[in-house]
Amino acid sequence: MKVERKADHAVSEASCKSATGKTIAEWFKALDQHGGVALGRRSLSKWMEHDHKVDLWWATTIVNEYEIARGDLARDGKPKGYSICPTKSIKASPKQCYEAVSTAKALNE
């Protein structure tokens, strides 16, 4: 499966400024001055969220876009991103799965 790195919602200079008080370019400059990609995604996102009162979605999205713009890559040389793990399984037949959720009594159990 190919995973595309892009925001769930439209991210533009105008939408960012409306939601956070700064444009993307202004945030990138602030992130550079704060310490940049060397601080890591979590640190930068928390700094925006706690110190600048930026909504978590916006903080995460801006930092993700910042990493892309600055060419920050994972150890394997690929862009950093979020992991998707499709390897979980349920050891039951389809009938057993259906029966487990098909009635209020089954759900309560």
Query: Residue 6 pLDDT more than 80?
Result: no
pLDDT, residue 90, reads 79
**Which residue, among 83, 62, 71, has the nearest Cα to 9 in the 3D structure?**
62
pLDDT, residue 88, reads 66
Confidence at 107, pLDDT banded by 50, 70, 90: confident
Per residue in 38-84, pLDDT (tens digit) is 998 899 999 999 999 999 989 988 998 898 889 887 777 766 665 55
